[in-house]
Structure 1
């Protein structure tokens, strides 16, 4: 009976997980210049050891975000931090992302942040409980997630939809600019990965965050910005533009449990 229920659960959960992933992931689009994901890259030995060493002098402050399926939290940085080149950064200008993996997807994230000029450091950091975790330190960007903005919260449904459409247009303008200037396409464009600034219920700016390597793609030289933006806008639907579902981890856990049970019992 358990195995039969698991078969049904796997089918339902598969639809719940795979469909959103397909929505956010960019299929290969050679006609507009979007090629293969960063995780398919060949990583040099130095790129594979970006989390090997502790980061002396890095002290985490408050946890500022619990969102995200592939990290253990985003933290502010206390005091000041001196990077490996000797540059001193004010902690208020940085954020630290605790990552789950020491593998292609996070090596690729470091690569993308370096391209963007936002990377500060990566390695290991001591946690309050005495453990050590892999961390990426990056420059803090301005703005907030749209649903956290007070003006958005107080807006009518019609105003919210208008603000959402404005945010998507500015998001895709930024995506297209990076694609042309940096030859990388950011595909994980759900709402939580976009920081906006709002004034008088209008979106003034939108900036991309979270460069998980599974959702960053190489872009060929000569790709047209207008084509990239058009593709981006077509892949982000304002009526269904939402945060990622934080329960997805739970569903994946059930899938793993059921898959193991089926392999053993079925």
Structure 2
């Protein structure tokens, strides 16, 4: 069983202090019979061949993201690659080739966002990479609408995004048999219409908190599961408390 550490804001006198604690809702999946197994456990020997090829005909574009838990960086791609416009795809540079990497490729294939994978030379060093569809939108807390909003409006935006996110989790789960449960705010892209969240897309199909599931599960049951585990409290944004108030 895995746990996500969540930030908890504690007030001491007039000072806000952020500490890391177990989440308010335990991520206990064992009681959900429709959640079958960790997606990584479905990796087969055939799935482990996806990084054997060498990729050469790609030109990296601008740098998109810094190092993550399992990746070193993410880049835009210049020009076209195969039948894809460079504006519609990105390259993720992984740290190592292991079953988490194999599982991510398998999941991307499952949800229709996989383009290619293999070894590619980045800054003079051969690295394992995945080329995948670029997910439209932005992280909610990065949008100008959220950053300019008052506290109550920010909470409303979070609620709107989580509602739409859980519907998307259910739709993907029922159509693809994959449960995306790593639904931190940074893994969800939104598009805005004024101060209203118009749509959401799931990102980050890494093995962590990814499960296979029974596609016949009722949509309402999946949504209820998702909304119980992901609330505006879980979508903590440190910048909302000011850089001088959080330690």
Pairwise TM-score range, normalised by the shorter structure: 0.7 to 0.9
1:56 aligns with 2:56: yes
1:66/1:242 CA distance change after superposition, 3 Å: farther
Distance 1:25 1:106, change over 3 A: farther
3-state SS of paired residue (1:204): strand
Q: Aligned partners of 1:108, 1:131: CA distance in 2, in Å?
A: 24
Q: 1:25: Cα distance to partner? A: 5.4
Partner of 1:263: none
Secondary structure at 1:73's aligned position in 2?
strand
User: Normalising by the residue count of structure 1, what TM-score does the alignment of the two structures yield?
Assistant: 0.77
Is 1:91 the counterpart of 2:93 in the alignment? Answer: no
Q: Which residue of 1 aligns with 2:32?
A: 30
Give the number of the structure whose alpha-carbon radius of gyration is greater. Answer: 1
TM-score, L = length of structure 2: 0.83
What is the CA–CA distance in structure 1 between the aligned matches of 2:63 and 2:80, rounded to whole Å?
A: 17
8 A Cα contact 1:38 1:213, kept in partner: yes
8 Å contact 1:26–1:215 — kept in the other structure?
A: no
Q: Which residue of 2 aligns with 1:195?
A: 189
Counterpart check, 1:40 vs 2:41: yes
Measured after TM superposition, the shift of residue 133 of structure 1 is: 1.1
- Which residue in the other structure is 2:98 paired with? 103
- Residue number in structure 1 paired with 2:147: 153
1:236 to 230, 234, 245: 230
Give how far 1:24 is off.
Answer: 8.7
- 1:25–1:188 CA contact under 8 A, matched in 2: no
More strand by share: 2
Q: Is the 8 A contact 1:168 1:233 kept in 2?
A: yes
Q: After the TM superposition, which segments of 4 or more aligned residues of structure 1 sit over 6 Å from their partners?
A: none
Give distance in 1, aligned partners of 2:28 and 2:63.
Answer: 30
Aligned counterparts, 1:127-206, within 5 A:
127=122, 129-206=123-200
**Which has a greater percent of helix?**
1
The equivalent residue for 2:119 is: 124
Q: State how far apart, in whole Å, the 2-side matches of 1:139 and 1:234 are.
A: 29
Q: Quote the Cα distance in structure 1 between the aligned partners of 2:59 and 2:189.
A: 24
The answer to whether the Cα contact below 8 Å between 1:35 and 1:220 also exists between their aligned partners in 2 is yes
Runs of 5+ in structure 2 lacking a partner? 1-18, 239-247
Q: Which has the higher contact order (CA 8 A, sep 6+)?
A: 1
User: 2:161, 2:26 → 1: CA distance?
Assistant: 16
Count of aligned pairs: 220
Please tell me the root mean square deviation across aligned C-alpha atoms, in Å: 2.1
**What aligned pairs does 1:213-252 form with structure 2 within 5 A after superposition?**
213-242=207-236
